[in-house]
Chains A and B, each alone.
Chain A
Amino acid sequence: MSSTSQHLLLSPAELAYLHGSLSLTTPGPIRPDGRAPAQFRPLTAETGILPGTNGSARICFADGTEAVVGVKAEVEKTPVSPYEFVASTEGRKDHSTSIPQKKKGRKSKKPTEDEETTMDVDDEDDDEEEAGDGSAAVEKVRGSPDWVELSVEIPGLRDDDSGTVFLTSMLTEALLADGEFVKKLWINRRFHWKLYLDIILISPPLSYPLPLLSLTTHLALLATRLPRLKSEADEDPMFDDDWAAATFLYPRQDTSSGKASNKSKQSSAAAAAAAPASRPPITLLVMAVGDNIIFDPSKEELAVADSAVAVSVAEGPSSESEPESDSIPATTTKRNLHLLSVRTIDPPSRLTPPGVPNSVNASAWGTMTAATPTTTTTPASANEGGAAKHPDARVTETEDVVGVWKAPRGGAKFAMLGAMVAKVLERGGVAEEVLDGLEGVDLG
């Protein structure tokens, strides 16, 4: 849990109005800017803005918040554990590696720390070994969370501010959650790409920047290209100098660009083979007011949220892949979305001061002339004598009065959490639309 942002100053009357209009049920919520509940603010997106990076993107919301993400890659040596055994080394011709290779029997040793997070090499190695085709395709691709370094910079906040740290960890978590992303960085057994993601919010945080940063990161990763690998297998990696031949980290499936389509046959091929149509994860900010579920809340909307949740979604392989335990059964859709993580966010509404009902507000009715209330809209105005006796009374523990703001208590309800996640993942739902929209951005 983390608080969403710095102190937001809103008057209790504003909060009560916003909460009232957002929790309307009959015509649906009326958002202050007139958007539909699932509507995002229009955004301007472009990629390839930073020539020195492997991939970059910039997204600008209409309200002026703007983020830039740059992705840089460098080749790094993979520390190979002496206990590690890779099955296909037997069939390989080139033994350029000097790392001692252990016998198959040693594999049952206790895995090292690094291995715990990687994909487990399991018993089917035996079969592949027998097949002995020696190609890289059968090699086990693995990844480590250390291969991605992500930094978030929010103007006006220190980089060790809890909000920044929370944003960083949430975005990192979405990237690393299913372990598919780091596998794309695998070059060969001895080398891997190390990816540095620099996420910078340019504007002051006018609203909670999580969805903006996530969408920008998504776009930057879509646009990320890595030099084409020329060397084979476990050689020291050699790359094609021609940047035009560089391959996309996330190959486009059936776009017209020819340079992308042949990626799946090339470099570190197993990664591509594992997930031919996967997309980087996105994290969406969803909030609930009353029974309404609202996407992409602005700052003032978030200030009256009963609960707010960050839902990270990734797109798995498009077609009949193995059904994962937590994936939504989407057999016929073209997108196979699965849930990566759900994080509750502490909305700033909890820190807001409560409004004072007229019944206990000495100033609202005049200390002396309280006997003749002119408005009888509230039932609470009946017990007004009490206020006259205690003009100073600032009652914080009052029962709900219509039109008086009271900060929400307690966490999100389970049913509401489920509804919010379902709303993100549903077929033709918001996540799909967002992915479709981002896919349409020209990767120039």
Chain B
Amino acid sequence: MPITILQPSLAPPPKPRHEDSHSDSEGGADLEGDIAMGRPAKRARTQDSSIMTPGEIITDDPQWMRGHGTYVIPGASSNTILSSVAGTLAKTNKLLSVRPLRARYTPEIGDLVVGRIVEVQAKRWRVDVGGTLLAQLPLSAINLPGGIQRRRTETDELQIRTFFSEGELLVAEVQQLYNDGAAVLHTRSLKYGKLRNGVFMSVTGTGGGGGGGVVRARRQAFTLDISGTDEVSGSEKIDVVLGVNGYIWISKHIEGEGAAAETSGPGITRIEESVGLNVYSSQNDIIPVDTMREIARVRGVITALVENGLRVDEEMVIKGYQEAVEMAKEERDSADTLWLGGERGKRLTKALVGR
């Protein structure tokens, strides 16, 4: 079946009918005014499920304090607190804040991010990390090929495009933040650097309160063993890098390389002895067909997780992948066992949540 056409459905689960009629019959003054839109008049009861829109009045009760995602009109004498983002209301004691449904990535020091070079300047690169501002990667914050430790010379500046050029992907760590929220990255570890042998995908990153997307976790990069599936010959592995910014890289695992490599490996001091000579290569290795297929499967699992509003972290991806392999085994006859969208994605996540 090449095409699936679905009926449109309401995004949020509809509230029970009787609740609406009940609030109507109360007959009291509608505090929300013209924005009620079938929402129960008393927000306090259903605060978790309702969505605030920017500019919407949350409360005018003076006992509340305003938190993130809210504002008060300056100069106005009233204590009206309004929402400044679209999201769900959260209350912490007397603090009101609105958690945005989706937001751009706000970098924090130490975050592992996947980024794409968008601009090459004289001594630095500008990197798209999905934030409001481009991050920057100074020439001095990368490893030179071969692990040589020396000052960056003019020759290096002239050759800056041989390290990273426009469009290339890299995995890096946030080293420093500016006042405006812009990040400075570094790749001074063998775990970081240019990415190859795989596919890129972008999902919601941290900052969104919608539930889905990549969350900050203990380990953002891990290796997935795909030799458990009987179709895969040999012991192939897949690296998954879940950038905190929601950019994800799924690639073939190469021993001793990549962000998922063991941290007990060679450190910065022993770079020159290590194997990481091809950190700036843009040539892919020969990738077995099985590995490609499993990479596509992992990508499908992550897409299904995001579409169904589940968080994306190591545990969920590994579980989801195992579940997807099981699903593929069950329906070996049908052709499209790799496709995890639509109905199959729902089944997958249902199985995951049900565990």
Q: Residues on A close to B: CB < 8 A?
A: 9-14, 16-18, 20-21, 24, 26-27, 30-36, 38-46, 58, 60, 62, 295, 352-353, 355-358, 361-369, 373-375, 377-378, 391-392, 394, 401-405, 430, 433-434, 437-438, 440-442
- Complex-state Cα separation, A300 to B300, whole angstroms: 15
- Complex-state Cα separation, A33 to B342, whole angstroms: 12
Q: Indicate if the CB atoms of A358 and B278 lie closer than 8 Å.
A: yes
Specify which chain B residues have a CB less than 8 angstroms from the CB of A46 in the assembled complex. Answer: 7-8
Q: Indicate if the CB atoms of A12 and B282 lie closer than 8 Å.
A: yes
Specify which chain B residues have a CB less than 8 angstroms from the CB of A41 in the assembled complex. Answer: 341
Specify which chain B residues have a CB less than 8 angstroms from the CB of A361 in the assembled complex. Answer: 162, 280-283
Q: Which of B158, B199, B283, B339 has the most CB of A within 10 A?
A: B283
Q: Which of A24, A30, A295 has the most CB of B within 10 A?
A: A30
With A364-B277, A365-B145 already in contact, 17 other A-B pairs whose C-beta atoms are closer than 8 Å: A10-B200, A13-B282, A17-B199, A24-B289, A31-B296, A34-B299, A34-B336, A39-B3, A42-B6, A43-B6, A361-B162, A363-B159, A364-B145, A364-B278, A364-B280, A365-B146, A433-B3
**Chain B residue with Cβ nearest A401:** B283
The reply on B168 being an interface residue by CB < 8 A is yes
The reply on B101 being an interface residue by CB < 8 A is no
Q: Indicate if the CB atoms of A365 and B199 lie closer than 8 Å.
A: no
Specify which chain B residues have a CB less than 8 angstroms from the CB of A44 in the assembled complex. Answer: 5-9
Kindly identify which residue among A16, A34, A362, A437 contacts B5, using a CB–CB cutoff of 8 Å: A437
The reply on B307 being an interface residue by CB < 8 A is yes
**Chain B residue with Cβ nearest A41:** B341
Specify which chain B residues have a CB less than 8 angstroms from the CB of A43 in the assembled complex. Answer: 3-6
The 4 closest A-B pairs by CB, nearest first: A366-B146, A34-B338, A13-B196, A403-B284
Q: List 23 A-B contacts (CB under 8 A).
A: A16-B283, A17-B199, A32-B299, A34-B297, A39-B1, A39-B336, A39-B339, A40-B2, A42-B5, A43-B3, A60-B8, A352-B167, A356-B283, A357-B283, A363-B280, A364-B277, A366-B148, A374-B275, A378-B283, A403-B284, A404-B283, A405-B282, A441-B5
Specify which chain A residues have a CB less than 8 angstroms from the CB of B315 in the assembled complex. Answer: none
Q: Indicate if the CB atoms of A32 and B163 lie closer than 8 Å.
A: no
Specify which chain B residues have a CB less than 8 angstroms from the CB of A33 in the assembled complex. Answer: 296, 299-300, 303, 339, 341
Kindly identify which residue among A11, A18, A39, A403 contacts B285, using a CB–CB cutoff of 8 Å: A403
**Chain A residue with Cβ nearest B299:** A32
**Chain B residue with Cβ nearest A361:** B281
How many residues of chain B have a CB within 8 Å of chain A? 60
Total CB contacts across the A-B interface at under 8 A: 210
**B254–chain A nearest beta-carbon distance, Å:** 9
- Complex-state Cα separation, A26 to B162, whole angstroms: 36
Q: Indicate if the CB atoms of B277 and A437 lie closer than 8 Å.
A: no
- Complex-state Cα separation, A45 to B146, whole angstroms: 55
Specify which chain B residues have a CB less than 8 angstroms from the CB of A403 in the assembled complex. Answer: 283-286
- Complex-state Cα separation, A441 to B280, whole angstroms: 51
**Chain A residue with Cβ nearest B9:** A44
Specify which chain B residues have a CB less than 8 angstroms from the CB of A35 in the assembled complex. Answer: 336, 338-339, 341
**A171–chain B nearest beta-carbon distance, Å:** 19
